[in-house]
Amino acid sequence: MCGIFGAVDFQGFFSPEDHARFVGLTDLIAYRGPDATGYERLCVKIPNADRSAMWDAFLGHRRLAIIDLSDAGRQPMTDGQGRWITFNGEIFNYLELRRELQDLGEQFRTATDTEVLLRIYSLYGPQGFAKLNGMWAFALVDLPARRVVLSRDRFSIKPLYYTREGSRVYFASEIKQLLPVLAARRMNERVMQAYLAQSLLDHTPETFFEGVYRVPAKSSLLLSVDDGAITPHTYWDHSLETVGTFNEAAEQFRELLEDSVRIRLRSDVTVGSLLSGGLDSSAVATLCRKGGADVETFSVISDDRRFSEEDFIDSVTRQTGVPNHKLTFQCPDLLQTLDRMLFHNDEPVVSLSIVAPYNIFRLVGEHHDVTVLLSGQGADEILLGYSKFFFFYLRTLLQKYKWGTAVKELLASFLRGTVVRYSRLADARRYIPALNSKPYGGALRLATDHQPVPIWQSPDLRQRQISDIDLFSVPALTRYEDRNSMAYSLEVRNPFLDHRLVNFVTSLPADYKIRNGWTKYILRESFPDLPPAVRWRKDKKAFVTAEEKWIRGDLRPLVETMFKSSHLQQMGVIDDRKFLVFYNDFLRGNSTHFGDISRALIAELWARNILERSESSSSAVEITSSLMQDASTNGAVKSTVV
């Protein structure tokens, strides 16, 4: 896991001043790679040129050493045949690929997965990336082919952004590295409107910054130095597999997940696992222990017993014997935490609740000797775990005239106290167009040609899943998980996002995943070794925060002061007067979901502190603290502990 930066000039050459600047932009994200640095100047147009004087490509690297901790693993790395790479991520099946390549006569000088990746490209080109099982974002300069290859993993786990200014293309792990090379910082109005109106993030290659793009998942971009063309290349896509009976599928599911965990435990540094007490993380922790791995787990508990999952966590640790560290989520300085979280994310996040996982990674990074963490991210998307999938399934049954099965599932859920009991209409709003016809009570100024993203449309339940995996759910979740963990030099791995497992599970019939009122049915049936209280849990909890309390009370002075003269209004996004009417209606207890207010506040903080902030301007904490002092007559903002 690392951080990268690079640039290529299709027509001209870079200067010594450019080199100093590029080194600085590489080091801007030193927290992603505190163990080593590397910078390489290359000349693609004239490969034999004196690169100290003539160079048209740059690769920078910040290393977080995880596999082969020796200096042999330093990057940028070359294959000795004119190909250079700067690589962020892990190739989990690198040992198997290494043996395959050795059988073909390839020789290796390091024990790294980076060298394996270079050899795969040398032999197979960009299509060879389909052989990789991992998470990655890399830039590869191919001098013989006179091109640069930018590539990203299948499920948006590792970040890679790029921008083009004239004949130059710049690329980086984080957007903040690209902002200094932009001619101007401009908000992307389309992306902002989709975020505020529909709570959508990371669903297109566009970002919140006009002219800055993300490399699409499961794809590579081929940059030709000869003509400056940028050609997309898809190396993998979802495919429908043939599956057997439920019992056969359950056995195969368990085997695939076991192998996914096994190869994600490969590391030369300490590995831990996040354990929430939920079904997904408990299954991962169980497999870690059964595989003989010496893995410690980390859990977040709440002081409020209504939200605490401590009993579930304890049942897993007692049954598996896995060591566990319990962390109590605290947010003693909410504003400072928001500032740091937005700095690391570069773009707005889905809600204020993201401060919880941010602080969890901070506690692990600052107080425990662990570098790698396993996570249950992705399980809800592939196993139909969200409550929305249950109702999509009911709709599918009704459309197929399977009314008896639909009634049976509905009654089973109600009687067992599962999905139907804890679902809320507010959580389904973005899938019901009629409930989104007038966002923010008319305060949101939509473009005349604005069309909502039709996320409620899908031909079938499988495509609904794939849309969430590719566009509407996983990319946003993996973005904040990557930024929040890497802020503290932690690598997070996702066993449920192994492409073999994803392709298999999305090919299963829906009734293998939803049955008798239970979601994730095949996971429950495949893990009889889980404690019954966890295996047959009825509820589902995300990270618990006092977000609604913050919006109603603690942050009220900030909201009211900011939206008296907001930057969003100046940019034509929101009507402040109508928004404050909308906010006051919320305070009086109408049905408005507090998430709407949270997103507007996050967007305003982002506009003030990221979009319009120069390197010499005050920090976000100073700006917001000043606003809070101005708002003190309306009430005090208190530190919050959850």
pLDDT of 425 strictly over 80: no
CB 540 within 8 A of CB 385: yes
Q: Binning pLDDT at 50, 70 and 90, where does residue 431 land? A: confident
Whether the model pTM is above 0.85: yes
Distances (CA, A) of 190 to 245, 478, 598, 603: 45, 22, 19, 14
Residue 491 structure tokens: 């690598």
Mean pLDDT of 288-309: 81
Residue 593: per-residue pLDDT: 77
What would the pLDDT profile of 128-166 be if each residue is shown by its tens digit?
Answer: 999 999 999 999 999 999 999 999 999 999 999 999 999
Residue 331: per-residue pLDDT: 64
**Angle, vertex CA 355, rays to CA 351 and CA 360, nearest 5:** 140
Residue 541: per-residue pLDDT: 64
Mean pLDDT of 36-41: 97
First CA to last CA distance, the chain: 31
Residue 143: per-residue pLDDT: 97
Mean pLDDT of 338-343: 92
- Higher-pLDDT residue of 15 and 623 is 15
pLDDT of 70 strictly over 70: yes
Q: What is the mean pLDDT of the chain?
A: 90
pLDDT of 624 strictly over 60: no
pLDDT of 167 strictly over 90: yes
Tally Cβ neighbours within 10 Å of residue 326. Answer: 14
pLDDT of 439 strictly over 70: yes
Q: Binning pLDDT at 50, 70 and 90, where does residue 614 land? A: very low
CATH, range 2-234: 3.60.20.10
What would the pLDDT profile of 361-413 be if each residue is shown by its tens digit?
Answer: 999 999 899 999 999 999 999 999 999 999 999 999 999 999 999 999 999 99
Backbone angles phi and psi of 533, in degrees to 5: -65, -30
Angle between helices 279-290 and 310-320 (to 10 degrees): 20
Q: Burial level of 105, CB count in 10 A (0-12/13-18/19+)? A: exposed
Residue 228: per-residue pLDDT: 95
What would the pLDDT profile of 446-459 be if each residue is shown by its tens digit?
Answer: 876 778 899 988 89
**Angle, vertex CA 22, rays to CA 20 and CA 23, nearest 5:** 65
Alpha carbon distance 418, 158 (integer Å): 34
Backbone angles phi and psi of 113, in degrees to 5: -75, -20
Nearest to 490 by CA among 375, 372, 374, 377: 372
Residue 534 structure tokens: 């966890």
CB 38 within 8 A of CB 60: yes
Which of 23-27, 184-188, 352-356 is least confident?
Answer: 352-356
Helix (H, G, I), strand (E, B) or coil at 43: coil
Looking at residue 599, the DSSP 8-state letter turns out to be H
Residue 327: per-residue pLDDT: 83
Residue 486: per-residue pLDDT: 98
Q: Burial level of 145, CB count in 10 A (0-12/13-18/19+)? A: middle
Q: Binning pLDDT at 50, 70 and 90, where does residue 554 land? A: confident
Where are the domains positioned within the chain? Answer: 2-234, 246-383+469-535, 387-440, 547-641
Mean pLDDT of 450-479: 94
Whole-number percent of the chain with pLDDT over 70: 91
SS (H, E, C) 193-237: HHHHHHCCCCCCCECCECCEEECCCCEEEEEECCCCCEEEEECCC
DSSP β-bridge partners for residue 518: 515
Which of 321-335, 397-411, 625-639 is least confident?
Answer: 625-639
pLDDT of 325 strictly over 80: yes
Nearest to 500 by CA among 260, 271, 162: 260
Residue 220: per-residue pLDDT: 98
Nearest to 582 by CA among 593, 567, 573: 593
Residue 384: per-residue pLDDT: 96
Q: Binning pLDDT at 50, 70 and 90, where does residue 632 land? A: very low
Q: Before 76, cis peptide (omega within 30)? A: yes
Q: Binning pLDDT at 50, 70 and 90, where does residue 30 land? A: very high
Helix (H, G, I), strand (E, B) or coil at 2: strand
pLDDT of 433 strictly over 90: no
Domain 2-234 matches domain 246-383+469-535 at the CATH topology level: no
CB 406 within 8 A of CB 392: no
Tell me which H or E stretch contains 137: strand 134-142
pLDDT of 596 strictly over 80: yes
Residue 334: per-residue pLDDT: 81
CATH superfamily of domain region 246-383+469-535: HUPs (3.40.50.620)
Alpha carbon distance 226, 215 (integer Å): 21
Q: Binning pLDDT at 50, 70 and 90, where does residue 435 land? A: low
**Cβ partners under 8 Å of residue 411, min gap 6:** 517
- CB neighbour burial string for 176-195, b if at least 16 within 10 angstroms, e if fewer: bbbbebbeebebbbbbbbbb
